[in-house]
Amino acid sequence: MGKFSTYRYLELKDDTSTSHISVRARALKQPRRLKKIFILLLVLALCATYFLGLFAGQTQWFDGLAKSLGYESVYHHAVIIDAGSSGTRVLAYKFRVPFTVFGQTSLDLVDEYFEETKPGLSSYVDDPEKGAETILHLVRRSEERIPIDAKKKRSTPLIVRATAGLRLLPADKADMLIKTVSEAIKQLGYDVGDNSVEIMKGSDEGIFIWYTVNLLHNLMGVETMAALDLGGGSTQITYQLEEEDTKLFPLSDQYIVPAGENITIYTHSYLKLGLLAARYGTFSLEASDNTSSVFKSVCVDPIVQNEKWTYGNKQYVISGAARPDSMKRDAVYARCHELVKRYVQLTLDWEPRTAPRGAVAAMSYFYDVAADAGIIDVMKGGTVSVAQYRASAIKACSASNVDQPWACVDLVYVVTLLQDAYKIRDNERISLFKKVDGHEVSWALGLAYTTVMHRIATAPAA
């Protein structure tokens, strides 16, 4: 208002020249017009940037809008059998392809079915037909929960991957199990190829669990989480490498994978360092006879006597070694830790010099051991540290708990694996997951996702 009054004052004062007043009027109108045009262009640019961002980001809002306008979703299925050392699981997935314009094709997980049977496939080494039947039963159960019509089923991959349990079997026995299962699942009407039933490489197990963790947390293309998986027979560690870190790791453990863009990850699988394998290995170190099925261990409370335990299709009898009544908690823990650490050092085939970068997620027996010790909520999970595992181990190693006879050795082993093998510091936070948003945290999801994505990518060329 003040600026307008000033110009108005000048016009009234100098009214002897019409041309002078006319020039002032044009000078006033031109900046205002340019300002309006500039603001309009700015608003259009902001709107374009916003909507392009929506397109590229594939927001739920834009995908929902596309559906409301008549977009029909395309669905894909995959059925994965995880034939682990301690049990066999079916994980059946239903994926949806969201609407996309500028961004890359992606998949939304809309449904999942999980079921597990015990013992694991390797337990049927002398009865492969019965082992195959357990898998057929699981697949049929998944069809009841996530129905697939006959036409869709013919293009749905059915993949069976055996893990450390079969890796530890004699080659001829493992091959017979693989062959029997392969022949059995061909009768189910799924897309079953020559490589549908295999013993899984440890590196694949690590890569796919890494995919699963980061897919469920929507971290692909940003700062990803390290994934630590602890099975019965083996353990895997997988995480993203910065370019300057690649020289610190064996080339055989480095893989280039798509994660928004191509990145390099490190993964290593340690056979015989799964929880059950390590428990057996620790007990064996104390035995004078390598063929013995009777063990006496300093990692078991003396109140435990002649406890039966089955591992690798063989039954063992375990008792706690005697200890002085005056032995303090720390001393009880220390002698178990010394034994467990010796087993780990004898078994490690590669030892990294540094801890994983960034956030760390851990699954499987890492979760179960923490839940059994009361460190985390058994249903919700949570975060832990090596220090917390150690505190629980010290307590468990001096507690007369016949209901959890292996609590001491298992907790000590987790501490040893994390601090001595994986170089994780005492107070670094580790996130423990069993489920994320209701979905099982399993390498099976990573395998299913990458398999379906590959099929979508190669379909036009087929």
- 187 in a labelled binding site: no
Tokens (6 digits) for 196: 């549908």
Residue 19, CB-side half-sphere exposure with 13 Å CA sphere: 0
- 419 in a labelled binding site: no
Of the candidates 360, 365, 364, the one whose C-alpha atom is nearest the C-alpha of residue 383 is 360
Asked if 383 and 431 touch (Cβ cutoff 8 Å), the reply is yes
Cα 251 to its chain centre, rounded Å, is 22
- 235 in a labelled binding site: yes
- 30 in a labelled binding site: no
Asked if 99 and 109 touch (Cβ cutoff 8 Å), the reply is no
C-alpha to C-alpha distance for 167 and 211, rounded to whole angstroms? 23
Of the candidates 274, 249, 277, the one whose C-alpha atom is nearest the C-alpha of residue 264 is 249
Give the angle 448-451-454 at the CA atoms, nearest 5°. Answer: 145
205 belongs to the catalytic site = yes
Cα 25 to its chain centre, rounded Å, is 70
- 233 in a labelled binding site: yes
Residue 203, CB-side half-sphere exposure with 13 Å CA sphere: 11
Counting beta carbons within 10 angstroms of the beta carbon of residue 443, is it exposed (0 to 12), middle (13 to 18) or buried (19 or more)?
Answer: buried
Q: Which of 205, 242, 244, 307 is catalytic?
A: 205
What is the enclosing helix (H) or strand (E) of 415?
A: helix 407-416
Helix, strand, or coil (residue 389): helix
Residues labelled as active-site residues: 205
Point out the annotated binding site for ATP. 232-236
Point out the annotated binding site. 232-236
